[in-house]
Amino acid sequence: MKKLLLSLAVFSMFFSARADEGMWIPMLIGKNYDEMVRLGLKLSKEDLYSINHSSLKDAVVQFAGGCTAEMISDKGLLLTNHHCGYDAIATLSTVQHDYLDNGFWAHNYAEELQAQGVTVIFLQKVTDVTAEVQAAVGNATGDDYNKKFEAISKQIEKRENNNGKLVANVREYFNGNQILLLTYKRYTDVRLVGTPPKSLGKFGGDTDNWMWPRHTSDFSMFRVYAGKDNEPAPYAADNVPYKPAKFLPVSIKGEHQDDYAMIYGYPGRTNRYEVSNGVSLAVNMVNPAIVKIRDLRLSIMRKHMDADKHVYLQTTSLYARIANYWKYFIGQTEQLKRLKVVDEKKAEENKFTEWARQNAPQDADLMDKFANLYNAYTPYAIPATYYGECFRTSGMGRLGAALEPVQRMLTEHKEDSAKLYLAQLKIARRAIMKEYDPGTERDLTIAMTKLYYTDVPKDMMPDIYENVIFKKFGKDKAGKNLGDAMYADYVDYMIKHTFVLDSNAFNAFCDAPTLEKISKDAAAEYGISFAKNYKDRVLPKVEQYNNDKKELAKTYVHDLMIWKKDKMFYPDANSTMRISYGQVKGYDPVDGVHYKYFTTLDGLMAKYKPGSDEFDVPADLIDLYNKKDYGRYADADGTLHTCFITNNDITGGNSGSPVINANGELIGAAFDGNWEAMSGDIAFDKKYKRTIVCDVRYILFLIDKMGKADNLIKEMDIRANKDINRNED
C-alpha cells in the first residue's frame, strides 16, 4: 500500500457551504468562520477556540467516558443529560432513598452526593503529530502497523502527560490519514447536585425515544471538585468546587426559527465513509441480528425489574443502555433503506472508479477490493455479532472466559503473570456484580445459550454444546429428549458448580489459584469453550477484516479528498471534541405534515397518562401547570417551552452537549436525534437531520419551581436580553 500523508494544513484547505453537516475539529473551526457569521454568529474566532486564552471549548467536558457536559457556573456546576447521569443516580439510590424515581436536589454543598466512578476531562490542547507517527510506522500495514502505531503513540503520550498530571491520547482521523495528540486534565471528584424524577427525565420512555415531538426533561446536574490548588485530586471532604477557565452564561430570551445554534461535544462514532458493501451488510445481517437479540434480552430483564424494586434499581441503567440502541438499530435500518443509501453509495463508487482510472490508476480496482473483502468476511459477521451480543450477556460466561488466561499462565508455571490476570478478573467481576441479579442472570443465560445455537452456523459452534449440554443434559434417565428444558437444567447446574458468583469462594480462589479449581468450574468450562471457539474460528477473520478494511478505507478517503478538492471534509467522529453549527429549524417528516421547532408543557400534559411507566408525571408539575406558574421561564407566547430542534450534526456521545446561541450563551442541552434521520451515523440527510434539545428554560423551571433549589439558580449567570458584541481578530 502506498504511503499516505496529508498535513493539517492540507486538510484545512477544503471548504463547503453545508453548515448543518459536519463534526469539525476545534482547532480548525476558524476555517468555517465566515459561514458561521453568515448564519448569525457574533463571537470571534478566539472565542470559539484558543490555545492562549480561555474559550468556549474550556467550558465543555467529556462526562463519564461516554457523554458530554458543560460548566454553567464559576463554582464547578455542571449540566448534562439525565440519561448520562442515570447510572450514577441509580447507583446512589436505594429502596429507602430512591433518587432515581423521586428526584434529588442539593440545597448546599454538604448535601451533594459523591458519584463514585464518574470522571470528567477538560481538553487542554490539540497537536498534529501526523509526521512523527508516519515516520515511525513507515509503510507498515496490518498487525505490523498496529504494533508500531501503538509503540509510537505510547512514546508520545508518555512525553506529553507531564508525569501523570495530564491525560494524553494519540488518535487517528480521516481513517488514519491524519494523527492528532489530544491533551486533557481529568477530575475524579464529581458529586450529584440535582436530577428531576425519572418520570420527567425519561418522559416518553422507549416509545418517544429517537422521536419528535418530544417533551423530555433530559438533564441532571453535578459538581466538579478539586484540591485547593484547583488541580485534580481524589475525593476528599475538604476538596473545593472547581473554578473553570470558562463557564457558559444561560440565556432565557428564547429561540426562534432560523436562529443560529452551535454544539460542542464528544460525538462517539460515525462511519460516513463506509462503502456500499458495508451498509448492505449492516442493513441485511448485522442490525437485524442485534435487534433480535436485544429484544429478547429486554423482555427478560423487564420481567424481573417489574417484579422487584431492588432488581429494578440494580439493573435499570443496563436496561436503558441496551434499549437505547435496540431502537437505534431498528431506526437506522429503516432509514438506510428508505433513503436508498446502498444505491447512492454504489453510484458514487462507480464515479470514483471512473475518476481513479484517469487520475489514480493504482486505485482503480479499490471498489473490487472492498467487494472481495466483504464477501470474505460475511460468513463471520453473524458469529461475531452473536458472540458480543449473545454470549457476553452472561456474567457467568464472561467471568468464566476471563479464567482462560489464568489457566494458561498456571499451566506454563507463570504465577506472576497469573496474578496480573487475576487482578484484572477482580476488576471485571466488580463491574459485573454491580448489575447482577441471580434470577435475571439465570433466565438470560438460558435464553442466550439456546439462541446462539439456533442462529449461529453449526460449523462455528463451541464444543460445549456437543460435549456437555447435549451429552449430559439432552435426555432424561429414560433417554427421552428434553428439548428446551436441557438449557435450563444445564444453566442451573452451572450456577451450582461455579465459584465465580460466590464472593467468598471467588476470593479464596484468587488467594490460592489452582488448575484443578478451574478445571472443575462449570462457568469456566462454559466461558472458555465460547472464548476459545471465538479466538480460533472467528477472531482471526475479524482481525484480518479490520486490518484490510482500514488500509482500503485510508486510501479511499485520501483519494476522495483529491478527487473532490473543492469540498471540505470532516473526519468521522471518534469520541474527541467536535463542533457543529446550524440553525433552529422545524421540518416536514412526510407529505402534508409539518413539525414545529418547539414543544410545550401543554403538549406534555396532553400525553399524560396516570400510572403509566412512560407518561406519568409528578403531582407537583400538574399543580404548577394548572396554575400556569412558569415565572420568568415562560416564552413570549405565554407557554412553557420544553424542547426544541436544530439541524446540527451530532451522534451518540453528544448526549448532554451544550446548544449555544450566537452570543455564546447556553440555550439547551442536546439529548437525541430524530427518527427520520436515524441513518445519520452512516449517511447524513440534510433534509431530515435534527438534534432534539431540552430547552434551558424548562430546565431552570424544574430546578426553581419543582426543586426549590434557588441556590443553583443564583449560582448561574442567567441572562434575559443581554447581547455580546463580536470582537474581530
Contact 186, 203 (CB under 8 A): no
Contact 618, 200 (CB under 8 A): yes
Question: Cα 328 from chain centroid?
Answer: 12
Which of 171, 5, 59, 22 lies closest to 665, judged by CA?
59
Contact 692, 654 (CB under 8 A): no
Give the number of other Cβ atoms within 10 Å of residue 674's Cβ. 23
Pairing between strand 718-719 and 250-251?
parallel
CA 596/CA 215 separation, integer angstroms = 13
Is 218 catalytic? The answer is yes
Is 566 catalytic? The answer is no
In the numeric block, the cell 454444546 is attached to 465
CA 449/CA 397 separation, integer angstroms = 10
Q: Which candidate in 47, 58, 73, 83 is catalytic?
A: 83
Contact 571, 16 (CB under 8 A): no
DSSP notation for 505-533: HHHHHHHS--HHHHHT-HHHHHHHHHHHH
Which of 690, 664, 653 lies closest to 675, judged by CA?
690
Please state whether the peptide bond connecting residue 361 to the residue before it is cis, i.e. omega within 30 degrees of 0.
no
In the numeric block, the cell 453509495 is attached to 345
3-class SS shares of the chain: helix, strand, coil, % to 5: 50, 15, 35
Contacts of 717 (CB under 8 A, 6+ apart): 73, 247, 249, 250
CB environment 686-703: b (16+ within 10 A), e (fewer): eebbbbbbbbbbbbbbbb
Helix, strand or coil for residue 720? Answer: coil
Q: Which candidate in 98, 208, 218, 548 is catalytic?
A: 218
In the numeric block, the cell 409539518 is attached to 594
Contact 112, 212 (CB under 8 A): no
Q: Which candidate in 73, 93, 655, 657 is catalytic?
A: 655
Residue 411, Cβ density class (10 Å: 0-12 exposed, 13-18 middle, ≥19 buried): exposed
What are the catalytic residues?
Answer: 83, 218, 655
